[in-house]
């Protein structure tokens, strides 16, 4: 999975910097683990704020890196949305639900 973020530097209307990060994602039953495989910059951190997981049978609690996480679960469409995160793409992370 590749994430891209664009930032326009101050005082420039034409130049944009592009930052890339590649993650290896593993999906176990009720768990998603991300491991960085490549980062394309050394500047400020890129963070995940929201993760959406499709095909989730049920979810009544969610943790991100061991701490409780804010989430909504749509049982009709089987969609789990985890919000309010600040997960760095330069570090491994684990999200679990039950």
How do residues 59-81 score in pLDDT, each as one tens digit? 999 999 999 999 999 999 999 99
**Domains of the chain as residue ranges with CATH:** 2-8+18-97 (2.60.40.1180)
pLDDT digits (tens, 9 = 90+) for 17-60: 445 555 565 667 888 888 777 666 566 677 888 888 888 899 99
Q: Which residue has the higher pLDDT, 89 or 2?
A: 89
Chain mean pLDDT for the chain = 76
Dihedral class, residue 44 (left if φ above 0, else alpha if ψ from -120 to 50, else beta):
beta
Q: List phi, psi (to 5°) of 60.
A: -120, -15
Look up residue 92 and give its DSSP letter.
-
As a whole number of angstroms, the distance between CA 70 and CA 43 comes to 28
Buried/exposed code over 43-67 (b: 16+ C-beta within 10 A; e: otherwise): eeebebeebebeebeebeebbbeee
């Amino acid at each position: 999975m590749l994430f891209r973020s664009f930032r326009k530097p101050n005082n420039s209307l034409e130049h944009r910097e592009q930052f890339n990060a590649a993650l290896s994602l593993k999906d176990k039953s009720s768990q998603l683990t991300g491991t960085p495989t490549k980062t394309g910059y050394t500047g400020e951190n890129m963070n995940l704020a929201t993760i959406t997981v499709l095909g989730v049978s049920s979810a009544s609690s969610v943790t991100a890196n061991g701490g409780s996480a804010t989430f909504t679960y749509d049982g009709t469409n089987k969609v789990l949305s985890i919000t309010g995160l600040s997960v760095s793409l330069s570090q491994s992370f684990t999200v679990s639900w039950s």
